[in-house]
A and B are shown apart, each in its own frame.
Chain A
Amino acid sequence: MKINDWLKSNTFHHSTFWDLKKLVEEKEQQGLKISLCIPTLNEEKTIGKEIVIFRSELMTRYPLIDELAVVDSGSKDRTLEVAASYGADTYFSGDILPSQGFKRGKGENLWKAIHQLNGDIIVYVDADITNIHSRFVYGLVAPLIYQPETKYVKAFYDRPLAFSQGIRPSGGGRVTEILTRPLFSLFFPELTALMQPLSGEYAVRREVLEQIAFPIGYGVEISHLIDVYTRWGLYAFAQTDLDKRVHRNQDTRDLGKMAFGILQAFLNRAEQLDMVDVKAETSQILRQFQSREQRFEQQEFKIVEEERPPMIEIPEYREKFHA
């Protein structure tokens, strides 16, 4: 019954934390610094709004966050210009830790942010949210502020438009329900309690972030969950319901690529933990098909789940934070 107990004690709704004045007081009492990182790639349409809302509500009105940064993978549009014009600190991922080189991927931005940003807690929020609200940040950092034993808080979104009965199904998106939760059910049953394990919004203590490896592609979230779970256990996690998230919808083929990356990352972890033994050599090519003038043809996509080591292993980082 551990899952039910955990759900009871570590699953929250953002409205629980409506009192931002109290939250800021508690944060200041603990002497915590909080950094917000928005990883971007061509997000000029939504980035300005996110920054304005977070700066106004969580820096000017209630000083909950101390640093707001956009870490970009090389946008071709005006993402960084718009972000800077609204007062965010902006970085090209390749300029951070140049000795480590540059890899293109969201996980790379998240990893580099650990070195660049100064907070004791880092909150990651995706840039493509069209219904942005300050709850996307305070809902995630609040459990870390109020519960010292909590290390990693994950967002989930659960607002049915209409429901008439007492029980209703709850869960994640297509990749979660078709791939991730079945995998967790097989190998890590307790992790199934995370409603949306692949959500891009989470807040994590630095002491945890610096200790875990970062796949740079689709596998970053699932690897985090497995690493934190195996090292610190289920009670290191909490999750917060942020109601509704409106964002771009991905088509099934894109989800196929995502699932392929996630599966690679999962198998890596499962092998490292001696949970599976994949004897055959696996391919990094995802094959999808299309028809052209009534003839079918194959499309090949190379999806490689490269991985960055725990940040604590990087000398420049140790010098900056543990000298």
Chain B
Amino acid sequence: MTHETSTGSFDTDSAPDEAALNLVAEVKSCRDILLANLVMAAETPAPTFGEEARVRFLLDRFRESGLDHISSDEVNNAIGFLPGASNSRTVAVVAHLDTVFSPKEPHALSLGSDRVQGIGIGDNSLGVAVLASLPLLFEKLKFRPQYNLLLLGVSRSLGRGNLGGLRFLLENTRQKIDEAICLEGCPLGRLNFTAVAMMRGEIRVKMPDEYDFSRFGVHGAIYHLNELINRILEIPRPSRPRTSVVFGSIEGGNTFHQLARDASLRFEVRSESDEVAGMILQKIRFILEEVRARSGVEIELDEISWRDHGGIGFDHPLVQTCRGVMESLDLQPQIGPSMSELAALIAAGIPAVTLGLTRGHEVNTLAEEVEIEPMFRGIAQILGVLQALDDPAYNEKGAVA
């Protein structure tokens, strides 16, 4: 498969590829703008349900790039639209705007000569910065696709957001989307095209107000939560379809010597089958019900977010195109399921992939950092895929798929 660009003929079937290397060089020549966008995006706090400031940043960038149709919607998605020359198809590039960090955390970045350090930098300020930079990179490459390009900074993705921004947009837009590429900061080489069934929940155990803590031998909330954990671990999990239960965080009590009044557990059920995931969840509900009835303590299950299992095949032209571009850039695809925006797109019947942009370290901690040099190949990969999607040969294969 070949595609003509200002960097030459982009051959996705062989590696290493001179055109691909030229593309990396072109991206690198925009380093200042990419890094400046990264600094500005990352230093704008965007907790889930509080993305307004980052939306303003992205819309300003779209506006300065001369995009025609720029808007935000009632759930704070930021939308930019570049009409295609033929207007026949629409490709969406998606990056979630929100981070797991509170605005109270220090958001100042530190830019070294080879790394950028700051909270939320890999998840997903880098994705947002690349989204903001795409119109300029297109201009630099003199690339104007035949298809319409929809740039989506989506809100409310993480945790309790439950992909709310993208789901809202997909349910309410009249714009048909033919393919989508989701941008995630890390890791470089990430290639997701399937979504696993997933349910995230929080179990909260609370001792009743009238509970008599003075009786010797009585148990506190941590004891009961521990019992729940043991019971959940006893639930049989099939090896095929692959299924797991992850305990992500636990909290409870305040002191060494007093019985805990409250305890909570955050967990996730994952499966390659919607049915198996549903069955395990049903069993968890039953265990909670039983322990609640027997012990008299208050036990609640907050079902925070969910995803359906689904995806496109390994042989889908979009996946094959991504693999070809990655190969030409000497990137080893790391294939695995995703629980990001991809899940909502696939659930809406839109072929989609998630691609990573650079190498990251300590992601989602206060010491989060990303490497600068690999970023240029990561971004060239996105441009390479977007160029390849404009190839008439892709359209023929895509139409067949």
Contact = CB atoms under 8 A, between A and B. Distances in A.
A268 interface: no
B110 interface: yes
Nearest to A57: B36
A48 interface: yes
Interface in B28-43: 32-33, 35-37, 39-40, 43
Nearest to A129: B108
Contacts of B110: 45-46, 48-49
A86 B108 contact: no
Contacts of B172: none
B112 A44 contact: yes
A207 interface: no
Nearest to A53: B36
A86 B109 contact: no
- Describe A's contact surface by its main secondary structure: helix
Contact of B32 (A45, A56, A130, A132): A56
**Quick one: which of A53, A78, A86 has the most chain B CB within 10 A?**
A53
A310 interface: no
B33 A61 contact: yes
B112 A60 contact: no
Contacts of A44: 112
Nearest to A59: B32
Given A53-B39, A61-B64, A85 B113 contact: yes
Contacts of A82: 111-113
A75 interface: no
A82 B114 CA distance: 9
Nearest to A21: B64
A167 interface: no
A52 B36 contact: yes
Residues of A in contact with B, size category: 20 to 34
A53 B109 CA distance: 12
B113 A49 contact: no
A316 interface: no
Contacts of A246: 108
Contacts of B111: 48-49, 52, 82, 86
Contacts of B109: 49
Interface in A77-119: 78, 81-82, 85-87
B44 to A, nearest CB: 11
Contacts of A85: 113
A133 to B, nearest CB: 8
Interface in B107-136: 108-113
B358 to A, nearest CB: 16
Contacts of B108: 130-131, 246
A154 interface: no
Contacts of A52: 32, 35-36, 39, 111
A85 B35 CA distance: 13
B112 A55 contact: no
Contacts of B32: 52, 55-56, 59-60, 86-87
B36 A56 contact: yes
A306 B222 CA distance: 67
A132 B110 CA distance: 11
Interface string B81-112: 00000000000000000000000000011111
Interface in A153-180: none
A290 B23 CA distance: 61
B348 to A, nearest CB: 36
Interface in B218-259: none
Interface string B34-58: 0111011001000000000000000
A59 B31 CA distance: 13
A44 B111 CA distance: 9
Contacts of A53: 36, 39-40
B94 to A, nearest CB: 24
Interface of A: 44-46, 48-49, 52-53, 55-57, 59-61, 78, 81-82, 85-87, 130-132, 246
14 contacts: A48-B110, A48-B112, A52-B32, A55-B32, A56-B32, A56-B36, A57-B36, A60-B32, A60-B33, A78-B113, A82-B111, A82-B113, A131-B108, A246-B108
